[in-house]
Chains A and B, each alone.
Chain A
């Protein structure tokens, strides 16, 4: 689904919630993945100049959960390690979006190429 305006961030939260419930995640796990999704969707909008998210559930053995892939064709992140440090922000935020999302998920992968864009995949399972 598209992430182009701040209403889309709300829609992403709602869609992720629906899928997290469908995957059978408990309330705390739902809240964690929705919160992480909110952070990454906002980054996609504010820093990635807009992009998309793909939401997938997996119900296979032994795990059930939700996987999200955020993609944008924005400026990319020059120093990933720094961007993943608590408190680091170039936009006057709290600098907890990337680092916090990583803590809230079981899986966190980030690829970013300066001048081309950023792709982040996260998953939460039970």
Chain B
């Protein structure tokens, strides 16, 4: 895998990290996401990390960066599905991810970023997509 897929869900972008990824892939995701926020005019970014068995300082910094960049681009970021053992470990590592919003699951995450439009999972051509455009 050389790219992590980014889905468009209504006015939000959804990324699901399902396997352990190496640093270059994480870096690529950071760049891809900022481009897609601009290209789609997305108002929210949801990152599902329920598949991640650990989050270390590199990945933590990536999540923080994504949140900071999307804030500048007028989009909210929410990280969902963090495992309890991961949360405990992150705090002891010294990383509290204060700049990142979190939610327990995708549904709550969608509420948090104000985009509950699951029916638009088809993405670009779905009716009601408003003025959004997606080059991806």
Task: State the A residues within 8 Å of B (CB).
Answer: 6-7, 9-10, 13-14, 17, 27-28, 30-32, 34-35, 38-39, 42, 86, 93-94, 96-97, 99-100, 103-104
Contacts and interface: CB of A to CB of B under 8 A. Distances in A.
Contact of B95 (A10, A14, A96): A96
B53 A17 contact: yes
A6 B94 contact: no
B85 to A, nearest CB: 4
Nearest to A34: B54
B56 A39 contact: yes
Given A31-B54, A34-B54, A35-B54, A103 B23 contact: no
B56 A35 contact: yes
Nearest to A41: B56
Contacts of B94: 86, 96, 99-100, 103
Contact of A38 (B24, B54, B61, B85): B54
Contacts of A10: 20-22
B24 A6 contact: yes
Given A27-B85, A28-B85, A96 B93 contact: yes
15 contacts: A6-B23, A9-B22, A13-B20, A13-B53, A28-B88, A31-B86, A35-B54, A38-B54, A42-B56, A86-B94, A94-B60, A96-B57, A100-B57, A103-B92, A103-B94
Contacts of B54: 13, 31, 34-35, 38
Q: Is the interface of B mostly helix, strand, loop or mixed?
A: helix
A34 B56 CA distance: 9
B85 A103 contact: no
* Residues of B in contact with A, size category: 20 to 34
Contacts, number: 70
Centre residue among A28, A93, A99 by max chain B CB count within 10 A? A28
Centre residue among B83, B85, B92, B93 by max chain A CB count within 10 A? B93
Interface string B49-62: 00001111110110
A39 B56 CA distance: 7
B88 to A, nearest CB: 6
Contacts of A93: 57-58, 61
B89 interface: yes
Centre residue among B24, B56, B58, B83 by max chain A CB count within 10 A? B56
A104 B89 contact: yes
